[in-house]
Chain A
């Protein structure tokens, strides 16, 4: 995880707005590994992942106002936009219809108001995911990183649609409950 101490993201974006190329370079050096890592996880292809990573940073350069500091941390914005862009690219490459996911603006509104996860939080979540039954983890990963819908997962795994829906729902509900418990905000 990048070190976020002494890092003024608003100042960095303001410098980008003033067309300071060194600010973009700094942003890339800080977060390029996370963006590229996520793009690689989704696309499983170095060429495509490089293109998506470059597109994300060029988007920041071309439209620095697209990140709104009142809606959360810059890295959360970058990760959400990276996932959406990478899944769009993946679906195009696989000639699948466009993604009917939650509107990205809604995601940014709801998921980004919280601080960044630190290394410990990330490790915790990885450990919690490992505690799920493997078939639930598989369904979550195909949906989250593969951008697949219920019916696409069912077709991919050759399983009844109802089975996939149940696995995904149970897995996410259990993961949410364990995660909220672990971070001290148990389900009501």
Chain B
């Protein structure tokens, strides 16, 4: 009974946090860590999540409160010119044969026409180079988006697996403290999942180009558990993969590192906890 009450209280507290952040989340005003927290809690608190739709509708409506302003007259012409140029340049991309200009013998042309032809050929060459470069950029962007989607998908899978495993009720907690004994963060894990949750309550805010890095420590050898950030109040959550049950490690540590993380801790630990 006590355990059930305690779990219920914990769920209520989490859902209250979600309820407090939901209005700001609906208009994009949550900080990055808060956005991640809201997104991780939406599935946990369906009765709160349902309120999001009304906030989203409100957000959509607020956009209409801006006064209608007639754009400068020239903008219409500029837009239509850009559209016309797109239609003209499009065939260049799919032209199956080389442009005949390049095959023409220059010495049979009048000097003016020859100069024009050379200029046109050069221009076409430049346009083609620009278009090919743009195609490569688009391809890069698409690849980056696919990578991002895969990362998010993996993250979501990890979250779902972790919360499902947590529901078995066999979770353990590791407190991470500063060198003066101040509680800064906790890690919740369960042997039933290969993911764990780090909740930061009080880690110091970082410079914009820095991140925290989590370390699994065994025999004085740190192995990275990933990088994460916290908001200005030191709050944040981070779901990470665990290579082995955490009780097999001597300790967990957190250090202040560059945004991309480090091979090994480059600063003294901000927080440590015995696993």
Contact = CB atoms under 8 A, between A and B. Distances in A.
B83 A21 contact: yes
Among A49, A161, A165, residue most surrounded by chain B Cβ atoms (within 10 Å): A165
Contact of A100 (B30, B60, B67, B82): B30
A165 B24 contact: yes
A21 B79 CA distance: 10
A175 B61 CA distance: 11
Contacts of A117: 61, 64
A37 B67 contact: yes
Contacts of B57: 110-111, 114
Contacts of A121: 61, 64
B202 to A, nearest CB: 14
B61 A150 contact: no
Interface in B18-37: 20, 23-32, 34-35
Interface in A113-139: 114, 117, 121-122, 125-126, 129
A99 B44 CA distance: 25
B168 to A, nearest CB: 30
B29 A149 contact: yes
B207 interface: no
Nearest to B75: A50
A150 B24 contact: yes
Interface stretch (B47-55, B92-100, B180-188): B47-55
A147 B30 CA distance: 10
A145 to B, nearest CB: 8
A122 B64 contact: yes
Contacts of A38: 63, 66
Interface in B56-79: 56-72, 75-76, 78-79
A168 B34 CA distance: 14
Given A33-B70, A58-B83, A147 B54 contact: no
Nearest to B24: A168
A178 B30 CA distance: 23
A144 to B, nearest CB: 5
Contact of A40 (B64, B69, B76): B69
Given A143-B24, A150-B29, A168-B23, A83 B61 contact: no
Contact of A129 (B27, B65, B80): B65
A27 to B, nearest CB: 10
A83 B26 contact: no
Contacts of A57: 79
Contacts of B54: 176, 180, 187
B23 A173 contact: yes
B141 interface: no
B56 A100 contact: no
B122 to A, nearest CB: 27
B232 interface: yes
Contacts of B25: 102
A46 interface: yes
A102 to B, nearest CB: 6
A187 B75 CA distance: 43
A150 B30 contact: yes
Contacts of A145: 66
B80 A143 contact: no
B15 to A, nearest CB: 15
B106 interface: no
A169 interface: yes
B64 A110 contact: no
Interface in A143-183: 143-145, 147-151, 153-154, 161, 165, 168-169, 172-173, 175-176, 179-180
Contacts of A28: 76, 79
8 contacts: A32-B76, A37-B66, A76-B60, A110-B53, A111-B56, A117-B64, A149-B28, A150-B24
Given A36-B69, A112-B60, A147-B28, 9 more contacts: A33-B70, A50-B71, A111-B56, A125-B65, A143-B27, A145-B66, A149-B34, A169-B24, A172-B55
Pick the 5 closest A-B CB pairs, nearest first: A101-B28, A111-B60, A172-B23, A143-B29, A110-B56
